[in-house]
Amino acid sequence: MRAPSQVTARVVAIEPAGAYQLLTLAAPTVAAGSEPGQFVAVAVGGPVTSMLLRRSFALYTADPGTGLIQIVVAEHGPGTAWLVRVEPGASLDVVGPLGRPFRLPPEAGTAVLVAGGYGSAPMFDLARRLRAGGSAVHMVIGAGSAERLFGVDEAHAVADSVVVLTDDGSRGIQGLVTRPLPQLLGPAGASMVYACGPMAMLEAVGAAAASHDVPCQVAVEESMACGIGVCMTCVLPVIGADGRTRMLRSCVEGPVFDAERIRWKDVGTLPADVLGADAMVVH
């Protein structure tokens, strides 16, 4: 893992990918040292923008050879609306690579990679690395509808098996990504689960993995003001090795966490047993 840097990245290409835009950026220092699960933070809106805060995107690819990185952008609010309209040749101010990546297993095994929507972006490089380490990889890719699936074809190229699901049945099986998990995690099944997608999905995948006693890493998506660990906006309650819950910064202590460590039901609240919650009463 390499220290992040702030770079001016040229937009090499921008192309639609279903409901998303795939941005290819020239950012050699970011590409050089990044690992799957890390993200970049992009300044949006141009020089006289009213939008101060960077927007975060998981790295989809990062090629140290070409110095190119790719991100998959869903148009959401004004910042991403601006970003999906950049032109090739434009410059973007990018900070990265940020955050802790997915940890690879100490020894080869069978991995299930579960992704929702653009949450599949970091999964392909992860799959390649897992397979390079000798692991078998099964991918489960879901989304609300067909055009919000990202990378189904590539999944087939990098995984031993692929299950595609959509909420509305417009592609693949109708249903949620948790649906195939009992089978994939069952006896003689996976030794590890990786997941990226909406919080509710991560919670459900974590629960499925736990019920089969399979370790599960998830990449969460919390609202971030700085992305580099200085502001404390991106926290969620995470149980430490000492059994105590702390409000951890998802930008530097995540975005990848062990699913079982996250107090899912308490995200967005301040449970009384969190370290230092007692001090909140005073003031």
Partner 1 sequence: METSVSMVTSLADVTLPNPVLTASGCAAAGRELAPFLDPAELGAVVTKSVMLLPRSGRATPRMAETPSGMLNSIGLQGPGIDAFLAHDLPWLAERGARAVVSIAGGSVGEFAELARRLAGAPGLAVLEVNISCPNVASRGQVFACDPVAAADVVRVVKAESDVPVFAKLSPDVTDIVGIARSCVDAGADGLSMINTLLGMAIDTDTLRPVLAGVTGGLSGPAIRPVAVRCVWQVHAALPTVPILGMGGILTGLDALQFLLAGASAVSVGTAVFHDPCAPVRILAELRAELAGRGFGRLSDVVGLAHRGLQR
- Residue whose CB is less far from ligand FAD, 173 or 252: 252
Structure tokens at 66: 């070409």
Query: Interface with partner 1 includes 74 (CB under 8 A)?
Result: no
d(CA 42, CA 194): 25
CB 203 within 8 A of CB 188: no
CB 113 within 8 A of CB 123: yes
Interface positions, 40-69, toward ligand FAD (CB under 6 A) = 53, 55-58
From the list 140, 217, 147, the residue with the least C-alpha distance to 180 is 140
Query: Interface with partner 1 includes 283 (CB under 8 A)?
Result: yes
Query: Interface with partner 1 includes 222 (CB under 8 A)?
Result: yes
Query: Interface with ligand FAD includes 224 (CB under 6 A)?
Result: yes
CB 11 within 8 A of CB 92: yes
Total of chain residues touching a second copy, rule CB under 8 A: 11
d(CA 137, CA 17): 24
d(CA 161, CA 224): 34
Total of chain residues touching ligand FES, rule CB under 6 A: 12
- Residue whose CB is less far from ligand FES, 177 or 235: 235
Stretch binding a second copy (CB under 8 A), from 32-40, 48-56, 88-96, 131-139: 48-56
- Residue whose CB is less far from a second copy, 85 or 265: 85
Structure tokens at 215: 């370790």
Interface positions, 49-78, toward a second copy (CB under 8 A) = 49-51, 78
Query: Interface with ligand FES includes 220 (CB under 6 A)?
Result: no
